[in-house]
Amino acid sequence: MKNMFNNPDVLFTIRDIIRETLMGNAALGLIISAVIHFTSKVNESVLDTVFALSLSASGIFIFLWLAAVTWNYFCKLANTRTLSGVLLFMIWMFIAELVLTLTLLTIAGKPDLL
């Protein structure tokens, strides 16, 4: 384990995982908050609905991109597509999306759901 963190390639891969996850979660947070804003209006227009749907499609695309990139980095980190790579990926994605969900609930003003 100690030798793993002395390897510059491993450190660069961990840096890339953190960077991509932060960027993806920031984009998802921005898109989700915009969708919440557009769908919470009392007098919704057709343009608001179309814009919210296009933002939702963008959010799904960004989530799939985030999952694919993170999966690729974790497989690179585990040196193969084995069970350890899958477990690392699942744990990381669960934690990242849990943090995103809790942050969005706090921003939306629903801390009672926490």
**pLDDT 10s digits, 4-21:** 667 788 888 888 888 888
What is the average pLDDT score of the chain? 78
pLDDT of residue 1 exceeding 70: no
Domain that holds residue 96: 2-113
Query: How many domains does the structure of the chain reveal?
Result: 1
pLDDT of residue 23 exceeding 70: yes
pLDDT at site 114: 47
pLDDT of residue 111 exceeding 60: no
Q: What is this structure's pTM?
A: 0.69
Angle, in degrees to the nearest 10, between helices 83-107 and 8-39: 40
